[in-house]
Chains A and B, each alone.
Chain A
Amino acid sequence: MEGLGLAYLGAGLGAGLAVIGAGLGIGNIAASAAEGTARQPEATSDIRTTMIIAAALIEGVALFGEVICVLLALK
């Protein structure tokens, strides 16, 4: 029973930590994209595309972490 409790604890902590990483990463991208757009408004659509791709890739890594947490919690 204690092991199960530890697994739940690990799942919860892991989910939060993964979200912190993804949040920092995507926040950095959004900040840089806003800056870039302000400097060069004519490149907005290119910057947006690049931003979405990078954000999606970071999100993918975070989602891997979340999937591991879900597996832990459902164990």
Chain B
Amino acid sequence: MKRLNVLHPKSLVKVMAILVALLVNTGGFSGEASAQSPEASAEVVSATAAASEHGAPVAHGEEKAGDVIMHHVFDSNIFAFHPFGEIELPKIAPVAGIDISITKHVVMMWLVSAILLVVFSFVGGKYKKMTNRQAPKGLTNAMEALVEFIRLDVAKSNIGHGYEKHLPYLLTVFFFILLCNLLGLVPYGATATGNINVTLALAIFTFFITQVAALKAHGLKGFLVHLTAGTHWSLWIIMIPIEVIGLFTKPFALAIRLFANMTAGHIVILSLIFISFILKSYVVAVAVSVPFSIFIYLLELFVAFLQAFIFTMLSALFIGLATAHEGHDEHAAEVAHH
């Protein structure tokens, strides 16, 4: 696969070259782009190719818009602060054949953990000092609203009895995913949750917590009985494989959902921006790229909250389903009693 050179130190020069080329090329707001034949616009998909037509220096041949987008979305060991240069993260020798070197998503996760530690130790300290008659203010109040939301609407309503045990995990995963998603929208940031390894690791936590909770709630015998779904023994040869596969698809779907939502949003934003480079037109840039990418960006802000909520909610739901009592009437009566 071709390496991209947007991240090279020469990038500033190249950006300038592209801008100059665009200025020379369009020479006004008329539809020169639409006058191009479809074959030409299909061939000239890259911004650098546009620059090369006008004699601007091209260092590494042409590069496609798709490659630039993919490079932005995927993980790498170069942290680029575009016009200001870049930081190359250290490589660590592979351990047992696995590459464990630090990448930009790892750095983002460290940053998220650090921010969460600072914020919540501050908020926790405030709570310790507060008397019964005081109300929380500012950041403490905002965090209390979110924590209460997770506690009541997510944990208590989905897990029911004994939800307190699982509350720390749910809160941690909610705030971690939320902050990862939001930091991906900050300029120069990277979306750690847009990496399937991160989401899969989070889903594996949910998987193990769910299974351990189920084992504790029903014991080994109850757990194995649950795998037969209460059917007649002649159906077990069909039911047991289905139930076992069902155990694994749930966390897999969790991981894929979060990964796909975060990656797709970023690809859409970048594609909208690249439309103006592909068509080489100011009109498209002003009328399509900027307003639509701002719209998608705002949508992404909403999606960041929604996906963090859905991951937490589904984790709580799986834990609740795994620990639910066998007698459903009894459980319903208990819920109604509350």
Contacts and interface: CB of A to CB of B under 8 A. Distances in A.
Contacts of A60: 253, 256-257
Interface in B304-332: 309-310, 313-314, 317
B249 to A, nearest CB: 8
B157 interface: yes
A63 B310 contact: no
Interface string B201-240: 0000000000000000000000000000000000000000
At the interface, is chain B mostly helix, strand, loop or mixed? helix
B313 A63 contact: no
Contact of A53 (B153, B253, B260, B314): B314
Interface residues of B, number: 11
B155 to A, nearest CB: 13
A66 B309 CA distance: 22
Size bin of chain A's contact surface = 10 to 19
Interface string A59-75: 11101101100000000
A13 to B, nearest CB: 18
Contact of A52 (B157, B256, B257, B313): B313
A52 B310 contact: yes
A9 interface: no
B314 A59 contact: no
Interface string B238-279: 000000000000000100110010000000000000000000
A44 B256 CA distance: 29
A64 B253 contact: yes
B202 to A, nearest CB: 15
Given A52-B313, A53-B313, A64-B256, 18 more contacts: A45-B153, A49-B153, A49-B313, A53-B314, A53-B317, A56-B257, A56-B313, A56-B314, A59-B257, A60-B253, A60-B256, A63-B253, A63-B256, A63-B257, A63-B260, A64-B253, A66-B260, A67-B256
Q: Which 4 A-B pairs have the closest CB atoms?
A: A60-B253, A63-B260, A63-B256, A56-B310
15 contacts: A49-B153, A49-B157, A49-B313, A53-B314, A56-B310, A56-B314, A57-B253, A60-B253, A60-B256, A60-B257, A63-B253, A63-B256, A63-B260, A64-B253, A66-B260
